[in-house]
Structure 1
Amino acid sequence: MTTTTRHGVRPLGSADLEAFLELAGQDPVVNVFALHRARTTSLEPRWLGGEVWGRFANGELVAACHVGANLVPIQASTDDARAFAERALTRSRSVSTIVGPHDAVKDFWHHVAHTWGKPREIRWLQPHLVIDGPPLVESDPRVRRTTRQDMPVLYPACVSMYTEEVGVSPESGGSSDLYRARVTQLTSRGWSFARIEGGRVVFKAEVACATNDAAQIQGVWVPPDRRGEGLAIAGMAAVVDFVQAEIAPTVSLYVNEWNEPARRAYKAVGFRETARFSTVMF
């Protein structure tokens, strides 16, 4: 077992899995990413592609932090976030995104900002939305699960969505094979949904991660020339129906505060705000 530091922080391993699941399970919807990662990797670093740090008090796990491409604080107080930040400052930055509940991200960022450099963008106060009942509107019957045969039209739509949302292409820096593999993986899992008309995607969304309790949606997109037609409202209702019937009873996502059209669409479907997230992107 790795020695715990003076701040009570150490990397977690498979022996800590049950304690971690209990901690993250205190808020299984907000922590769905962390729970999904833990269950699929058993907290083994070779499968995580990084580490999960735990903070202990009197021998009990009280907070955690996923440190991979994404740094995600889990059940972290101000004091916990500071302790994780101090550990993070002992090494060079390897993460591309800090994301999670607003207060924990803000507190963590406050302590590393002077060393980790200027981020490409910070998005504070992103509404975290949840629906755990049936949609309030009729589903689009033309939304379906995608298949590998859809990749010639689906993949360009995913690239367009990502580029518009993040501000850089997922193919930049020679990453096209990795991104294509991710899109293919989601399709193979049955986690990719789209409405395709005339060989063109006019609505799409994916499940990013899921547990038996909750599923988090990502990549909701309608091409610019088709916006304002209600495709996202009826499309998201269809996605909620699919997910609740076959994956998890609660569906969540987080959205940029400034994206009023998307927020109106999610509200029409029946999503309600339960928390605020923040994202720091490098």
Structure 2
Amino acid sequence: METTLPVRLLSAPDHDAVARLLDAEPLAGAFVADRLATHGWSRGNRLYGYSRGGELLAVCLSAANMVPVGCDEAAVDAFVDLARREGRQCSSIVGAGPAVRRLWRGLRPYWGAARAVREHQPLLVTAEPSPIDADLYVRRSVRSDVPALFPAAVAMYTEEVGVSPLADRSSAAAYRDRLEYLVSAGRSYSRIDNGRVVFKAEIAVLTRHTAQIQGVWVAPDLRGRGLAAPCMAAVVADALRRHAPTVSLYVNDFNVPALRTYRRCGMREVAELATVLF
């Protein structure tokens, strides 16, 4: 798309500049780094860059998720103008809190109301094993666990996002494929008692800087019994040992039990994200 603004569609020759920018944002930029590593410079993986004086200062992923990284107010405003002209093509906006909130203020008059806006999501990280004992029954999931894990994953997604991932056949297939990929990659963890999933979590985003945990779920009737923290301690220990030098995640600020659990595991808040869901 042609524009007079200092924004352009990036491509493979920009790889080194993008890598430097994402290295400077190792946690907030993890999703974009993982996406580029997995999908490359594909048409469905468009990455726009904002430059001043010939220097790349910020990027914004435009795919199923819109993800700004490294943005000051001028960069956000430039991305707002571009997104306004293109129209909404994403199912969510997620990224650093100030950038997402400013993006949404600029786009809402053109894109209409969102399904949900989560303005304050603490971003937590640890580089050390948890100070509490790990649950010895948590393990890396295997392919034979998928039939039990899939309903738990659907329940988690529906509870967290507010819609089912099984809305149509193609999205259901894609969701199961994603789960199977994470299991095969050794990035799914679970505690399964007598065939029943009581805890699960995945490393949904993985870079050389961090293993970012998502999809944390405890069976509803077992919540409040102190199960989550030891299970998460097991995930943190294995992720640090096998995958990355830090473990990170983000959580809604109103989810007080989850925040308490992650802090018990030694995770500390380093930034704030925000998410807009459509």
1:225 aligns with 2:221: yes
Measure the CA separation in 2 of the matches of 1:130 and 1:25: 16
What are the ranges of 5 or more consecutive residues in structure 1 without an aligned counterpart?
none
Q: Please say which of residues 265-274 and 170-179 is displaced more in the overlay.
A: 170-179
Tell me, yes or no, if the aligned pair for 2:143 and 2:180 is still in contact at 8 Å. yes
Counterpart selection for 2:180 from 161, 181, 184: 184
Among residues 120, 127, 130, which one is paired with 1:135 in the alignment? 130
Paired amino acid for 1:158? A
Root-mean-square deviation (Å): 1.1
Whole-Å separation in 1 of the counterparts to 2:149 and 2:127? 28
Corresponding residue number in structure 2 for 1:27 = 25
Is 1:17 matched with 2:12? no
Q: Is the 1:76–1:104 contact (alpha carbons within 8 Å) kept by the matching residues of 2?
A: yes
Structure 2 CA distance for aligned equivalents of residues 118 and 171 of structure 1:
23
2:145 paired with 1:147? no
For residue 207 of structure 1, what is the amino acid of its counterpart?
I
Identity %: 45
Which runs of structure 2 are paired with 1:35-184 in the superposition (5 Å)?
35-42=33-40, 44-46=41-43, 49-174=44-169, 175-184=171-180
Name the SS for the 1:168 alignment partner. coil
Out of 205, 208, 224, the position equivalent to 2:204 is 208
Q: Would you identify which runs of 4 or more consecutive aligned residues in structure 1 move more than 2 Å? A: 38-42
Matches of 1:234 and 1:240, distance apart in 2: 10
Shift of 1:58: 1.3
Query: Using the alignment, how far apart are the partners of 1:21 and 1:39 within structure 2?
Result: 10
Normalized against structure 1, the TM-score is what? 0.96
TM-fit CA distance, 1:152: 1.1
Letter in 1 for 2:83: A
Map of 1:240-251 to 2, 5 A cutoff? 240-251=236-247
Alpha-carbon contact 1:98-1:279 (below 8 Å) kept: yes
Q: Give the TM-score taking structure 2 as reference length.
A: 0.97
Q: Is the 8 A contact 1:17 1:38 kept in 2?
A: no
1:201 alignment partner, SS class: strand
Aligned length: 277
Q: CA deviation at 1:242?
A: 0.7
Does the CA-based 8 Å contact 2:39-2:45 persist in structure 1?
Answer: no
| Contact 1:21/1:38 (<8 A) preserved | no
| 1:91 to partner: Cα distance | 1.5
